[in-house]
Amino acid sequence: MFYREAGDFKTSYKDDNQTFPIAFDRYRYWVVLAVAFLVIPFLINDYWANAIFVPFLIYAIAAIGLNILTGYCGQVSLGTGGFMAVGAYACYKLMTAFPDVSIVIHVVLAGGITAAVGAAFGLPSLRIKGFYLAVATLAAQFFLVWLFNKVEWFYNYSASGQINAPERTVFSVPVTGPNTEAWAQYLICLVFVTVSAIIARNLTRGTMGRKWMAIRDMDIAAEIIGVNPLRAKLSAFAVSSFFIGVAGALFFAVYLGAVEVGEAFGIQKSFLVLFMIIIGGLGSIFGAFAGAAFLVLLPVALKVVGVDLLGWPTDMVAHLQLVVVGALIMFFLIKEPHGLAQLWRVAKEKLRLWPFPH
Amino acid sequence: MMSAEFLYGIEVVLNGLMAGVLYALVALGFVLIFKASGIFNYAQGVMALFAALTLVGIMEGQVPFAHVINAVFGTEVHHFGWHVPALAAIIMTLGVMVMFAWAVQKYIFKHLVGQEPIILFMATIGLAYFLEGVGDLMWGSNIKTLDVGLPQGGSRWVEDMTATLGGDDFYGFFIDKLDMVATVVAAILVLGLIAFAQYSKQGRAMRAVADDHQAALSVGISLNFIWVLVWSLAGLVALVAGIMWGAKSGVQFSLSLIALKALPVLMLGGFTSIPGAIVGGLIIGVGEKLFEYTIGGMMGGATENWFAYVLALVFLVFRPQGLFGEKIIERV
């Protein structure tokens, strides 16, 4: 009734090429942005920021990054944790080396450094395919974590081996360090998420995204129709690692504040982000958000129900969480391999015909 | 007389070979499933952990899910109060693994037939999480010691026999008895599996399925049965690996991480080759010990964490199908 193209006349090429062709989607997009920027910052408190919103936003960036590589370009990577660590340590070194430069620039630069590292580890993807490559990216994961653990220069020779985020401000509001307020934490992450999502969305529907998808669907065929596999794969690795690096930098500087590399960026993190994009939907920006929201909310929900309502021991709920996550992964792969994003697409199709489905 | 340094180098190689045997054992479980069904089973390591946990639980007469039962019903159960002899417990655990194989086939992979390999791989990651959680809920997550009567400690005999090889500052090779037992068991298991695959009826059917699903189906081989069989065999291999590693360093979560170590072994050896798994395991085992012994110290140690992966990565760039893998032919 309200969700359809009919009556929405597009009179210019610009209109015709816009991201959301249906008027309702555009309104929804602006409403979501307005709520996120203008309402939530005034309501948010420490618990909501730390337990749900900030991790959700940061994982959403990481999931967008991995989705570009795995969902759009078809190269499975298990090195996400390692690349997030590169972002975090690059950000830390930049923050401590150039204290006067804005943290925003540092986070972006950290993304750039991660992009370079990602492209270097992406080089073997030209020879190695499928899950041989997935295993090869484990080399990146373990090597990088080991490197940040062993080479003291990366953590400025601190005795604990940890890195700690010093206080940095944006418009003289602290966004890192212990004096950060919940709303500032939330807003800086939100800005990065919004920009990342817009960039990713437009990259994936342009030439670059088409090339990635051609490589994903069949790389030899793509090569024959004129896609350069070297450039397509390496650009996917670089762009993906850029977002993952930004996520790692924010995860360290804004969310955790202090990081021990094996604990924060271990192999578990790689799997977590991979699960997000499987559950959310491979090859969909919305899916990255849905998957991140789902896997951030699930432990919180399980904890509220199990520990607070039923009074079960915490470790049992933690184990139960493994069971539930594992079962959900298998369930989604069997029933809905395209994830939550596909459910959303189906819902939209239905909505288009509603209330007269014939 | 050889110099002590050289002899210690040999000792490192010997210990590497023993570690490599255990890697090969886990890798073997991967190869079995991969050949027959094209599933790359990431859960193999967790299966080893689960098998070891179940074995300890049965031997000590633990009540399964005691933790959960207590939390939900407010009871205080934990042990049945009996002890099961090791051999009986091993047979019962094997039964559990066969049931597990059947359930995995019926509820998961039957519905995923014909999917892309990468989807199957991700499903096994989900399975690994699920099984890890179930194992912890069922038997508790504390570190357990596994004692099925295997000899422990260094072998005095080998030490005394070899002490004369070097000079005064060489005291003979230190080799763990458990590692020697593991090597023998692994060798028997491998020979047994090869004999099974070559000469038994089911083994032939298994190889037929590995060759071509459709053709195997058309001559009357039940794919379902073969897949359950293969998963059961992988369960057996997981149990043996679980016993060896569990006896060596206790039954705990880190046991499941040996699966990650088996991956580079497979990449070196090729996913489809049983000899490849063994040779790959030995190369990785010796390689990482030697690297740590010679260069690792200069780089800050603990290079064993990543050496295997980087070696496999470099190797694959030059030979993408591994040492013994079938040549990859791509068509549009």
pLDDT tens across B321-331, in order? Answer: 777 766 667 66
pLDDT tens for residues B132-188?
888 888 887 777 777 766 676 666 666 666 666 666 666 666 677 777 888 888 888
B112 interface with A at CB cutoff 8 Å: yes
pLDDT of B155 reads: 66
* Rounded Cα–Cα distance for residues B302 and B22 (Å): 19
Question: Mean pLDDT of all residues in chain B?
Answer: 79
As given in the structure block, the two tokens for residue B297 are 């110290």
Q: Give the count of Cβ contacts less than 8 A between chain A and B.
A: 140
Using CA coordinates, name the residue in chain A closest to B111.
Answer: A334
- Which residues, in sequence order, are CB contacts of A329 under 8 Å at separation 6+? A275, A278, A279, B122, B123, B125, B126, B129
Say whether pLDDT at B210 is over 80: no
- Distance between CA atoms of B326 and A221, rounded to whole angstroms? 23
The answer to whether A33 faces chain B, any CB pair under 8 Å, is no
Distance, first Cα to last Cα, chain A: 13
Show residues of chain A in contact with B330, CB under 8 Å.
220
Q: Which residues of A touch B137 (CB under 8 A)?
A: 316, 319-320, 323
pLDDT, residue B37, reads 76
Q: For position B153, what pLDDT does the model report? A: 67
pLDDT of amino acid A64:
94
Looking at per-residue confidence, does A241 or A46 come out higher?
A: A241
State the complex-level ipTM: 0.80
Could A139 and B121 be called an inter-chain contact, meaning their C-beta atoms sit closer than 8 Å?
Answer: no
CA dihedral B76, B80, B81, B85 (to 10 degrees): -150
pLDDT for A338 equals 80
B130 touches chain A (CB under 8 A): yes
| Residue A214, pLDDT score | 92
Residues B325, A46: Cα–Cα separation, whole Å: 54
Q: How confident is the model at residue A110 (pLDDT cuts 50, 70, 90)?
A: very high
Three-state SS at A73: coil
Supply the DSSP symbol for A35: I
What does the alpha-carbon distance between residue B210 and residue B35 come to, in Å, rounded to a whole number? 5
pLDDT tens digits along A240-299: 999 999 999 999 988 888 888 878 888 888 988 998 888 888 888 889 999 999 889 888
pLDDT band at B312 (very low <50, low <70, confident <90, very high): confident
The pLDDT of residue A237 is 93
The Cα A292–Cα A274 span in angstroms is 10
The number of C-alpha atoms within 13 Å of A90 and in the hemisphere containing its C-beta is 29
CB B3 within 8 A of CB B167: yes
Instruction: Find the CB nearest B320 among A132, A267, A330.
Output: A132
Q: Which of B 139-158 lie inside 8 A of A, CB atoms?
A: 141
Any A CB within 8 A of B129 CB = yes
Q: CB A323: neighbour CB atoms within 10 A?
A: 18
What is the gyration radius of the CA atoms in chain A, in angstroms? 21
**For residue B267, which residues of chain A lie inside 8 Å, CB to CB?**
132, 135-136
| pLDDT at A354 > cutoff 90 | no
Whole-angstrom distance, CA of residue B190 vs CA of residue B151 = 22
Determine contact: B312 vs chain A, CB below 8 A: yes
- Asked if A96 contacts A166 with a C-beta cutoff of 8 angstroms, the reply is yes
pLDDT value for A301: 86
How high does pLDDT run on average in chain A?
Answer: 86
Determine the average pLDDT of the residues in B21-44.
81
pLDDT at B171: 63
Comparing alpha-carbon positions, the chain B residue that sits nearest to A126 is B317
Minimal C-alpha gap between A241 and chain B (Å): 19
Q: Read out DSSP for A241-263?
A: HHHHHHHHHHIIIIIISEE-HHH
More confident: B161 or A120: A120
Give the type of residue at A90. Answer: A
- Rounded to whole angstroms, what are the CA distances from B208 to B29, B132, B221, B231? 18, 33, 9, 16
Q: Is the pLDDT of residue B63 over 60?
A: yes
- State how far the Cα of B317 lies from the Cα of B65, in Å rounded to an integer: 47
pLDDT at A9 over 80: yes
Nearest to A131 among B68, B117, B302 (CB): B117
What is the chain B residue with the closest CA to A316? B137
**Total-model pTM:** 0.85
Tens-place pLDDT, residues B10-32: 878 888 887 788 788 888 888 87
- Assign B305 to helix, strand or coil: helix
| Cis bond upstream, residue A355 (ω within 30) | yes
What average pLDDT score do residues A184-208 get? 91
Contacts of B328 in chain A (CB under 8 A): 129
Angle subtended by helix axes A229-250 and A103-122, to nearest 10? 140
DSSP A174: E
**Residue B300 to chain A, least CA–CA distance (Å):** 6
Q: What is the per-residue pLDDT for A48?
A: 84
Chain A partners within 8 Å of B263 (Cβ): 135, 138
- Tokens 């359950």 locate to B228
